[in-house]
A and B are shown apart, each in its own frame.
Chain A
Amino acid sequence: MCMGLVSSLVRLVLSPQFFGPIVFPGLVTVLAVLLSIIWVERKIAARVQMRVGPLYILRPLGGAIQMLADGLRFFFQEFIVPETVDRVPFLLAPVVAMSFAMLPFAFVPLAPNFKPYTVPYSMPAFLGLNTVIPLTVLAMAWGSNNKFSIQGGIREAYMTIAYEAVLFISAYSMALLYHTLDFAEMVEAQKVPGILLNPISALVFFIAMIMSAGKLPFDIVEGEQEIVAGPFTEYSGIAFGLTMGIGYVQLYGFTLAFTLMYLSGWEPLVAPLYSIYPALGGILLFVKAYLLLVFIVFLRAVYGRYRLDQALRIGWRTLFPLAIVSVFLSIALGVIGVV
C-alpha cells in the first residue's frame, strides 16, 4: 500500500505534465534562476563599472547568496496596504501577473517527446499567455492610486503596443519558415540554427523580448530615476518581491523560447542523459537559455536607458519594418525549400 503510494507519487512527479511546469524548467528552476541571475547581473554590472558588487553574504563565493538574503528580507518586511488603494486589483494583480509569467512554461518542450502540455500551437500559446502580464501591470497602476503608478501604467500601455506586434510577427515568421506552430517540431526542423537562417527575425525577437520583460535598456516602465518604481511604487514586502521577479521570470521564459526557435533548442541531444530520463535531455536547452540570459543582463552594464519616445521609435520605425522583412525572408527561404 505504502510502496504503491510512493511509486505513484514518483510517477506523478516524473510525468511531463508535472515535471515540466513545477520542477524543470518551471517553478523550482525559475526560483534557482531568479536567485542566481540577479546576483550575476549585479556582479557583472559591478565588474564593468569598476566596482566590487555584492560581497559579504557568503564571502568565499563573492556574495553568491545575496538574493537569498534579499528574498528573506522581503518575506519578513511589513506589507503595507495604503488606505487609498483599490484593494482587489492592488492585491490580486501581482499574484495574477506571477501566475501568468509561470504558465508559459507548460508549453516549453524539453526534449523529443517530452512536452508538459501537448498542443500543436505551443508557440502562440506561449506568447499569448505573456500578453496578459501588461494588463495586470495596468491593473496594478490603476489600483495603486498613485501618480507615479499611473505614469508607469501609461508607459506600459505605450510600450506594449510598441513591442507586442513586433514580437509576434518575428515569431510567426519563424513559424512560416518551419511550417509549424509547435516548438518541438521547430527544433526538429532546424538542421541549421534558425538564427543563421533568419538573423533579422532573431534580432527583432531578441530586442522585443527585452522590451517585453522590461529589462535594461528598456526598463522605461519602472524608470526608477524618474517615477520611483512605476506601477510598483506602492508595493512593499513580498508583493514588491513578486513585482520585481515578474520581469526576470518572463525574460527566462523568453530566452527558452528564443533558444527553441533560433538556437536549435536541445540539439545536439545529450543521449546518455536522455536515456536516463527524457527531461535531462533538455540540459543543453537550459544552458543555452541561461547563457543568453547572462548576455542580456550584461547589456544592462553597457547601455543607458532609452527614453519612452526613443523606444517607441525603435519599435515602430526600425523593428516593425524589419519584422515584416523577416516574414518575406522566411517565405522566400520556404519557397526555395531550405527547411
Chain B
Amino acid sequence: MFRGKVRRHVEAIATGLKYLVKPNRITVYYPEEAIVLSERYRGMIHYDWDKCISCGLCAMICPADAMKMYRKKGEKKARPGINYQRCIFCGYCVDICPTNALSFTRVHDVAFEKLDEMLYPPEKFTSEWRSPAEERGARRLRVVFDEERGLKHVPEQ
C-alpha cells in the first residue's frame, strides 16, 4: 500500500512536469483570437420588426419574465421587449415565435456599463449585434477534433 502511494505521487508530479515542458493549451488569446461559434449558438436575441404579428407568445412562454409586451398609447399592436438582466438564454421565445421574428445571433461577448442599458424596449430590440472582439479584428478560430489532442483551434478559411 505504501509503495502504491509513493507511485501515485511520482506519477502525479511526472504528469505535471510533462505539461510544464510540453504545454497543451486549450484556451485562446481571446481579444485577439475569437472562436467561431456554431450556427445554433444561443447568443443575444435579434428582433425583426416587420415579421412580428404581436401574438405575445414569447412573453407568455418566457420562464424568467424577461420578455414583456409593450404597447404605445393609441396603438393597437403591442410589441415585445427584453430585459437582459433576467434573460437566461433558454430560447423558448425564439422557438415559439410563429413567424420567426425572433432569432438568435452568435454574439455573446457584450458588456453593459449600467443596469438600465440591459433593458431593450421594442425599438431598441431591433438593433443589430456585433461582437466587440471581431470588430477589433480578432482572428477567427474554428474548433476541430484532433486524434491526438482532442480539440484543436485552426484559423477559419
A contact residues vs B (CB 8 Å cutoff): 44, 47-48, 50-52, 55, 298-299, 301-303
Contacts and interface: CB of A to CB of B under 8 A. Distances in A.
B20 A50 contact: no
Contacts of A48: 16, 19-20, 23
Contacts of A301: 16, 20
Contacts of B157: none
Contacts of B20: 44, 47-48, 298, 301
Contacts of A298: 16-17, 20
A47 B19 CA distance: 7
A299 B13 contact: yes
A55 B31 CA distance: 12
Interface of B: 12-13, 15-17, 19-20, 23-27, 29
A51 B27 contact: yes
A303 B23 CA distance: 18
Contacts of B26: 50-51
B19 A303 contact: no
6 contacts: A47-B19, A51-B25, A52-B25, A298-B16, A301-B20, A302-B16
B13 A47 contact: no
Given A44-B20, A298-B20, A50 B12 contact: no
A76 to B, nearest CB: 23
B23 to A, nearest CB: 4
B15 A47 contact: no
A232 B17 CA distance: 32
Kindly name the residue among B16, B20, B23, B24 whose own CB sees the greatest number of chain A CB atoms within 10 A: B16
A302 B19 CA distance: 10
Given A50-B23, A303-B12, 14 more contacts: A47-B19, A47-B25, A48-B19, A48-B23, A50-B24, A50-B26, A50-B27, A51-B26, A51-B27, A52-B25, A298-B17, A301-B16, A302-B12, A302-B15
A52 B25 CA distance: 7
Kindly name the residue among B25, B26, B29 whose own CB sees the greatest number of chain A CB atoms within 10 A: B25
B15 to A, nearest CB: 7
B101 to A, nearest CB: 41
Nearest to B5: A318
Contacts of B12: 302-303
A30 B42 CA distance: 50
Nearest to A48: B19
Contacts of B13: 299, 302
A118 to B, nearest CB: 40
Nearest to A301: B16
Kindly name the residue among A50, A52, A302 whose own CB sees the greatest number of chain B CB atoms within 10 A: A302
Contact of B29 (A44, A52, A303): A52
A51 B148 CA distance: 18
Contacts of B23: 47-48, 50
The 10 A-B residue pairs with the shortest CB-CB distance in the complex, in nearest-first order: A302-B16, A47-B23, A50-B26, A48-B19, A48-B16, A302-B12, A51-B27, A50-B25, A47-B20, A50-B24
B138 to A, nearest CB: 15
A322 to B, nearest CB: 12
